[in-house]
Chains A and B, each alone.
Chain A
Amino acid sequence: MGLSDLLSRAAASRAHVLVVATPRAFTTRVALERALLGRGWVQAESPADADVLAVCGHEHTALTEELEAVWDAMPGPRVRVDVADPKAVPAVLDRAAEQLLATDQHVHDAQRRGPVTRHMDHGDMDHGDMDMAPAGIPLAEGAEDRDGLEMDVLHLSLGPVLPHWPPGLVLHCTLHGDVATEVQVELVGEPTTGYDAADTRDSVGVVAARSCDAVVSVLALAGWPVGEAVARRARDACLDGNLRDAAQHLTRLRRRVVRSWLLRWMLRGIGRLDHAGVQESGAAQQVAGDVYDRLVALIDRAGQGLRGEASAAGNSADLVAALPALLAGSELASLRLAVASLDLGSALARLEAADV
């Protein structure tokens, strides 16, 4: 017993947490991310990687089904916690750590549900009549891709539970290999009551922090941990009100980004969104250029936000409506980078504020 107890304690001190971002819970999510990294915990990348499912915000009824699927896909030992607001974070994480140690309950949970078999990718496959459907999943159909090669057609829903992804956004993608040929947009999880106070009357710091957070996402997806860490520091300083520190971090970040020829080489030319369909949509102004241009623009915008200079925000509804045209034909990595660089988190927040 002593040994397995030791194992449990060691394991629980290194929990991986799948953070579920919901609309209007920006400050809550950031507080959660900071607290868990501060404990030496890790942000999980997928349900299979997660011990703790942490849902941010007040209202997530629209996500119930989605969260159920994620919960089923978690291997166990597993714990689910809801984080209502930033102040609740420490207590919630303490509780999660405690529940992770309840080995008897986890054994019971494991016996009750048998082998872990579900996963999410096939949840909304819709192939109509198919002759071949092993285990209830129709085989992928073939179709010609953009180069005229026959590729499997796969269906993938990105979001709403996905790290570095705008809260409340779901993209239903039809993939040929790893190229999204068709993209449909859905917005889910809009709260009916209650909201994160700081999110609706955004202070200077929060506005800048949102831009920094988009930078964190872009750099995380670009696989550049050094840059991502600086962007995180800038974001956290914005929220703490240390605007001078934040400005310094941003200057340093901008210098590093501009200096890295490798990053420029990787991000140049991808997610270029100035073709005709976009020009017409009215969203052209804020999305001009490629991912690299938008990354630098985001850093600059965060700096402007800190100085209280309101940057001209375009029409968020237009931007969301333009997504299918923007993203169709992108390969998966480009698509993820493009979405992150569009800073849709801020756009969606504006959209909701307009609704209220």
Chain B
Amino acid sequence: MSDLAGTDAVVAVAGYWAVPAAALVGALAFLTASLHAMSGSAVSGRGRLAAATVLVREVARLLRQRRRRTVAADVLLWRFATAGLVPLALLKVTVIPFGRWTLFDSPVGVVWFNAMDVGVWALVWLAGWGPNAVHSLVGGYRFLAQAVGYELPLMFALVAPPIAAGSLRVGEVSAAQDGLWFVVWMPVAFGVYCVGVVAFSVWGPFSVAVGSDLAGGVLAESSGVDRLLFLAGRYLLLVAGAGFAVPMFLGGGAGPILAGWVWVLVKTMLLLAAFVAVGHRVPSLRPDKFVEAAWVVLLPLAVAQDMVVAVVAVGRT
């Protein structure tokens, strides 16, 4: 095995591969949205319409709909924010090793992912700020309150795998799980990470920023292609979050028989299915209550997990 060690390393591919990669991520997002629509019609007892066509028709509707501007809106920041989630999610994906290949083999890939994640704060807040309207502004505030809750536990959860691997390079974190996936001996970090992903994707129980009680919150004034981009960005963030969990906790491309990249896809999709299942079934978490639980329960748990991982890592060397 030792003479093959060199092939374990992840290879950074040429830049033009970003195009098929983005298409693949888009396809996964489409699949996730379809799955969500399907579970929605199962919940409401209306299974007459195939979920995939619902999505196509919804996209057609938003493409046909006119864009809106509100009085004295901050149009530049508003449009920047609603359109920004899509590229941000794609930037997150660049550091994920797809089998042996990656787009961006950064020595600090984990930090890169987390930095992009903080970008979500700015974009969702600005999307709420831009229209100069009360409901969307309150939605923006809500997201910030929620972010104060999930971000620190998420950061500490992301710290655990690099400690064990001794590297912030995502490929090396993935390779360090030789035989024993990190999810097995750092389940708390994995759980907290998943909460963070659902939260930064403004998804399911963490979608209060776009909640019905705010008439759509951040999205209350958006229509047409602006709305479409924001909604697409949400799904892409969910895909990016699920995809990043694979090298961090789920052994990367490790698995029997199938090629590494197939395993990455399979694991990502399984995690996405779990996120979708949460979507309709869990009530919204109000930020004021969630923040309390996040700081009193999740944060100490994540730190304790880091300590355990650090002790084990020191013991090994």
Contact = CB atoms under 8 A, between A and B. Distances in A.
Given A116-B69, A119-B133, A223-B208, A10 B61 contact: yes
A46 B221 contact: yes
Contacts of A164: 212-213
A349 B135 CA distance: 28
Given A134-B72, A225-B40, A49 B216 contact: yes
Contact of B70 (A119, A260, A331, A337): A119
A159 B200 CA distance: 31
A75 B220 CA distance: 12
Contacts of B66: 75-77, 110, 116
B215 A40 contact: no
B163 interface: no
Contacts of B48: 40
A286 interface: no
A81 interface: no
A178 B283 contact: no
Interface stretch (B254-262, B266-274, B284-292): B284-292
A77 B224 CA distance: 10
A51 B61 contact: yes
Contacts of A13: 57
A226 B43 contact: yes
A262 B43 CA distance: 19
A121 interface: yes
A130 interface: no
B312 to A, nearest CB: 33
B284 A222 contact: yes
A223 B215 contact: no
Contact of A48 (B45, B68, B137, B207): B68
Which of A37, A76, A220: most chain B Cβ within 10 A? A76
A307 interface: no
Contacts of A175: 134, 138
Given A48-B68, A76-B66, A119-B71, A333 B215 contact: no
Given A40-B46, A48-B216, A233-B45, A333 B69 contact: no
Interface in B59-93: 60-61, 63-72
A146 interface: no
Nearest to A42: B58
Given A49-B219, A222-B283, A14 B57 contact: yes
B251 interface: no
B44 A75 contact: no
B214 interface: yes
Contact of B57 (A10, A75, A262, A333): A10
Nearest to B280: A225
Contacts of B284: 222-224, 266
Contacts of A76: 65-66
A256 B84 CA distance: 39
The 4 closest A-B CB pairs, nearest first, are A223-B284, A10-B60, A224-B283, A135-B72
Interface of A: 7-8, 10-16, 37-38, 40, 45-46, 48-49, 51, 73, 75-77, 110, 115-119, 121-122, 134-137, 154, 156, 162-164, 175, 177-178, 220-227, 229, 232-233, 260, 262-263, 265-266, 331-333, 336-337
Given A12-B61, A14-B54, 19 more contacts: A11-B61, A14-B57, A14-B60, A46-B135, A115-B69, A116-B67, A119-B131, A121-B134, A121-B135, A135-B72, A136-B71, A178-B142, A223-B212, A224-B284, A225-B279, A232-B44, A266-B283, A332-B214, A336-B213
